[in-house]
Structure 1
Amino acid sequence: MLFKNDPTFSLKSLKIMQVVPALEVGGVERGTVEFAIYLKNMGHQPVVVSAGGEMVKELTSNGVQHITLNVNRKSLSSLLSVKKLRALMLKLEIDLVHARSRIPAWLCFFALKKMTVNKPHFVTTLHGLHSVSKYSAIMAKGDRVIAVSAAAKAYLLKYFDSELKHQPVVINRGIDPQFQHGYQAQNDFLQALFKRHPQLSTSKKVLLPGRLTRVKGIENMIPWLQQGAADHYLLLTAAPDESKYSQRVTDLLAKHQVSDKVIWLGVQRQMPDLYAAVDVVVSTNNKPESFGRTVLEALTIGTPVVGFAIGGVKDILQDIFPQGAIQAGDSQAMAQRIEAFLQQSPVVPAHQSYANQSMFDQTLAVYNELINVPN
């Protein structure tokens, strides 16, 4: 039972519109869906606007309304969605709009700009440490701005302090309850994995999870791939032909004669099983990221992580598993630490930090505080 001194308490059912580019695979997308379901279960009326995607099914099956709109392209055509967004806000009597990416944030900003009556409050969440520009400044223009880590808050204060109406509120990204310390990979998952890649059944496995982009810094794994034993493999949750960049990675691996040491798994849905099945997870980013979701997920399972100590990854490693932190860009130190962990796997302590429930409750508290402030 909630009481009025509880920050999640609401005197009325709030009508909340979250706007994201699309609902395909990704941490922001996953968090958006889970938070919308949480709001629904708390008695509020959530709406999610996006260009669509695989996760829409999960929203609708949980009774959450999804509206498909062009809010994902950096083009003039997206501006046509401004009037549609404004009309939706008025029709649905939205109390608060929450944008989690730059294009949706700009579209919401323009939609709200001409509203004089029944104007919803505007919240933004900074999920990424974007290039510093006027385009990125939109993430600091919310009535309240949420930063997903201390690193994200520092970025906002350093580059966009003049845009901020209030100090950014740090609400660390949450971790889904499916990630449990000591979780063991399910037999059916392992059997399917080893059937596709028989060499993995008796080998050491190192995982670089997430979308494969230039920022991932896979070139930093070349020294380990060259020096590691023949039965040590790097696993990628990508396909060699899924993008121009993945094709360039294929060429890079061939150039250094390490193609046979890399296993392309493709997009994976059963991430707890994959984290539990591997020996080490790595984070080799070339630039800081705001949080480091994959690092947190792996550590929560209990799988050791070796990562460059920058941005949100640094914060998480320092908090949970400091022995996994490597100086940014030091690929030789990365190789040595991976090998040390493969030879003798360290114990990753269980932690109670970064719970989804805490993230949801804190976000709703921001909403309630803002709803009680006159426009």
Structure 2
Amino acid sequence: MKVMQLLPELNSGGVERGTLEIGHALVAKGHESVVVSNGGRLVPQLEQEGTRHLQLAIHKKSFSSLFKIRPLRKLIVQEQPDIVHVRSRVPAWITHFALRGIAPKKRPHLISTVHGMYSVNGYSAIMTRAERVIAVSDSVVDYIHQHYPHCPKSSIVRIYRGINLHEFPHGYQPPAAWWHMVYQLFPQLENKTLITLPGRITRLKGHEYLLELIQVLKAEFNVHGVVVGGADEKKQGYLDELHQRVTDMNLQEHVTFVGHRSDIREWLAASDLVLSLSTQPETFGRTTLEALALGTAVVGWNRGGVAEILNRCYPTGLVEPENADALFRKIHQLLATPVKPAPVQDFQLSEMTDQTIALYQQVIGSI
């Protein structure tokens, strides 16, 4: 079986990591894996794990992307994949038009994954027009049913994202050398209670809640807020706003932005609490799951995929959405009387990859 996955770029994020994980699993099971994207920092890892990468600029939300239809069609005809799996809206539209120029009998099967609760419009509807539509949580299934009733229920397949529990073992602690490196870079973190907000720098992640929490908790609990995640060029203005807000609140000694990190496991394990405070429902919430797997408590809004994870793995961490008072009370309670998560049993990576590959095989009729 030959599978071609398409996504905008390969830098960071859940879509990108899921693409690598499926590529790795396909190769491990003797299948052929191809990924088409505009490239990025994860390409070397992708190729090292046995997937071929074909670079094509299918990432821009602009009219110029229409000029990629013919090159993509040529790639599909050359590669002759059994499955084309689209993971984002721009690549999905380009693929839609590319496939229309291929004779029906020669077209590959089309699968999409709805990774986000996108704005509801005709542009986003393309993600629901594949033979099978993978939803990454029950919340996403509900979102599709509610907003895209044209999508047959029989076409929607819920496949939770997953993590490798060997990579995020319960009780893991960063080595002394890591702590030494961190204290050299960020000496202000030493001997502090670390409350961490992971994720890319964007207005949706709820950084303002973190700043307000640190403001009211810092005297009593010696807390320090840690923001783990970088800002792309378009979000640099928002990062500047956050830095100014920290200054205005006189929190320079109490909040640290560590930027994009490849050692996210260590940061999550080093934290006393991890937060998930997105202003919109998360479709899944991978860092929530990773932190819980390591044994770090997570507090998050009771909605979306994060609520699905917390309900199963750590219901103590659930808080009424956007309720700042309830959030403060919950975190105060957990700092005063910590409650450690039990070892995670659900949401394993092998289940996600096995179910996805089984779906591929079902669609092409090989089983």
Once the two structures are superposed, residues 32-53 of structure 1 have per-residue CA deviations (whole angstroms, 9 ceiling, x without a partner) of 1121011011111110000001
Give the structure 2 partner of residue 237 of structure 1. 228
Deviation at 1:181? 1.2
After alignment, is 164-173 or 33-42 more displaced? Answer: 164-173
Identity between Structure 1 and Structure 2 (%): 37
Give the structure 2 partner of residue 3 of structure 1. none
Once the two structures are superposed, residues 288-347 of structure 1 have per-residue CA deviations (whole angstroms, 9 ceiling, x without a partner) of 111111111111111000111111111111111011000000112212222222222212
Once the two structures are superposed, residues 114-150 of structure 1 have per-residue CA deviations (whole angstroms, 9 ceiling, x without a partner) of 2213100000001111111111101101110000000
Give the structure 2 partner of residue 10 of structure 1. none
Question: Separation in 2 of the partners of 1:147 and 1:239?
Answer: 27
Matched residue SS, 1:24: coil
Question: Separation in 1 of the partners of 2:115 and 2:231?
Answer: 27
Aligned length: 360
Once the two structures are superposed, residues 44-84 of structure 1 have per-residue CA deviations (whole angstroms, 9 ceiling, x without a partner) of 11100000011100122223210000111111221111111
Question: Separation in 2 of the partners of 1:268 and 1:165?
Answer: 39
Matched, 1:74 2:65: no
What one-letter code is carried by the residue in structure 2 that aligns with 1:105?
A: A
Give the structure 2 partner of residue 122 of structure 1. 110
Q: TM-score, normalised by structure 2?
A: 0.94
Give the structure 1 partner of residue 98 of structure 2. 111
Of 243, 253, 265, the match for 1:272: 265
What one-letter code is carried by the residue in structure 1 that aligns with 2:56?
A: L
Question: Separation in 1 of the partners of 2:211 and 2:33?
Answer: 46
- Equivalent positions of 1:1-375 (< 5 A) are 14-116=1-103, 117-164=105-152, 166-176=154-164, 177-230=166-219, 231-238=222-229, 243-372=236-365
Once the two structures are superposed, residues 174-198 of structure 1 have per-residue CA deviations (whole angstroms, 9 ceiling, x without a partner) of 1134111111112221111111122
| Structure 1 runs not aligned, ≥5 long | 1-13
Q: Is the 8 A contact 1:224 1:332 kept in 2?
A: no
Question: Separation in 2 of the partners of 1:71 and 1:250?
Answer: 33
Q: TM-score, normalised by structure 1?
A: 0.92
Deviation at 1:165? 7.1
Cα distance change on mapping 1:284 and 1:134 into 2, 3 Å: same
| Structure 2 runs not aligned, ≥5 long | none
Question: Separation in 2 of the partners of 1:232 and 1:77?
Answer: 48
Question: Separation in 2 of the partners of 1:289 and 1:311?
Answer: 5
Question: Separation in 1 of the partners of 2:199 and 2:142?
Answer: 25
| Runs of 4+ displaced beyond 6 Å | none
Matched residue SS, 2:5: strand
Question: Separation in 2 of the partners of 1:162 and 1:239?
Answer: 38
Cα distance change on mapping 1:240 and 1:135 into 2, 3 Å: closer
User: Over aligned residue pairs, what C-alpha RMSD do you find?
Assistant: 1.6
Q: Is the 8 A contact 1:223 1:332 kept in 2?
A: no
